[in-house]
């Protein structure tokens, strides 16, 4: 995980997970079409296949009144949860951690179910829950005392390119060679 | 700026300083001064011991690698909007 690509994947996953959760956890049942259109049903079929389940998760049913929007939302969701540099299994664990942290009952149940379906055992679930809980503690302690970051030097700078991007220009001289006035 | 005065490592008793050395080994990094969070948790050694063991247990490789767990920790910190 030394280069940036996994972190881009993780950040995009966090965003999409939260987007699904906020709609699914809101009182929006009345928006779900009683009879989804044929276009919406086609997307629903893809969703059922992706999750290998008979029903369609709430977050997608809520937006099915606009099949075009549903299709794009689903496309984004499928993209961020698909195996890439991060595995789908790990992505479900990240989404579970995000959902627990944001108190999303929809997301917590969905991603807990997905982790188990993808082979994560009870020990693995507890490990993710433990990390989530411990860092929910550390973050609040740090915020309460307004601690300033002091561990950034642990991670070495890596110049690997992000997906689809050109490699960043490497510095041609060391910081020590800069003039004393340089910021 | 922190709302409390963070004690220097030298102000802590010997047993705590050993824990600071253990933290260096855990992070594989030679801190000039223990991280602020380590010094805060050491303020109450009894709590720090429980909390630290729980953290270490949670972060030790098991079904997930340490790197995978660090990423879980990072997204939780991000969602909590914690810069530390």
Supply the ipTM of this predicted assembly: 0.89
Query: Tell me, what's the pLDDT at B29?
Result: 81
Task: Identify the DSSP state of B10.
Answer: G
> pTM, whole model, 2 decimals?
0.85
Contact predicate B48/B22, CB 8 Å: no
**Interface mutation vs chain B, best among A7, A18, A138, A140, most B CBs within 10 Å:** A138
Name the residue with higher pLDDT: A112 or A154.
Answer: A112
SS3 A115: helix
CA distances from A86 to A80, B39, B62 (A): 10, 34, 18
Nearest of A140, A139, A145 to residue B3 by alpha carbon = A145
SS3 B65: coil
Which tokens in the block code for residue A125?
């679930």
B22 touches chain A (CB under 8 A): no
Which parts of chain B have pLDDT scores under 50?
A: none
| Percent of chain A residues topping a pLDDT of 90 | 78
The minimal CB distance from B67 to the residues A1, A102, A150 is found for: A1
Query: Tell me, what's the pLDDT at A157?
Result: 57
- Specify whether the backbone of A6 is left (phi greater than 0), alpha (psi in -120 to 50) or beta: alpha
Compute the mean pLDDT over every residue in chain A, rounded to the nearest whole number: 88
């Amino acid at each position: 995980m030394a280069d940036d690509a996994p972190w881009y994947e993780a950040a995009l996953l966090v965003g999409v997970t939260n987007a699904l959760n906020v709609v699914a956890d809101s009182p929006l049942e009345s928006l779900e079409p009683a009879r989804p259109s044929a276009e919406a049903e086609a997307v629903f079929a893809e969703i059922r296949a992706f999750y290998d389940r008979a029903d369609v998760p709430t977050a997608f049913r809520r937006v099915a009144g606009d099949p075009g929007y549903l299709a794009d939302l689903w496309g984004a969701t499928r993209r961020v949860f698909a195996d890439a540099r991060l595995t789908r299994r790990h992505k479900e664990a990240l989404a579970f951690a995000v959902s627990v942290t944001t108190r999303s009952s929809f997301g917590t149940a969905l991603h807990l179910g997905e982790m188990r379906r993808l082979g994560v055992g009870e020990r693995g679930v507890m490990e993710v829950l433990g990390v989530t809980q411990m860092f929910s503690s550390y973050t609040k302690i740090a915020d309460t005392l307004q601690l300033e970051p002091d561990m950034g030097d642990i991670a070495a700078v890596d110049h690997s390119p992000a997906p689809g991007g050109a490699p960043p220009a490497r510095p041609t001289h060391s910081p020590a060679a800069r003039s004393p006035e340089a910021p | 700026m922190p709302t409390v005065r963070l004690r220097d490592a030298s102000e802590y008793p010997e047993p705590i300083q050993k824990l600071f050395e253990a933290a260096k080994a855990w992070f594989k990094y030679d801190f000039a001064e223990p991280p602020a969070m380590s010094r805060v948790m050491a303020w109450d050694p009894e709590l720090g011991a429980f909390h630290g063991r729980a953290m270490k247990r949670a972060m030790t490789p098991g079904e997930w690698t340490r790197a995978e767990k660090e990423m879980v920790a990072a997204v939780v910190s991000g969602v909590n909007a914690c810069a530390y």
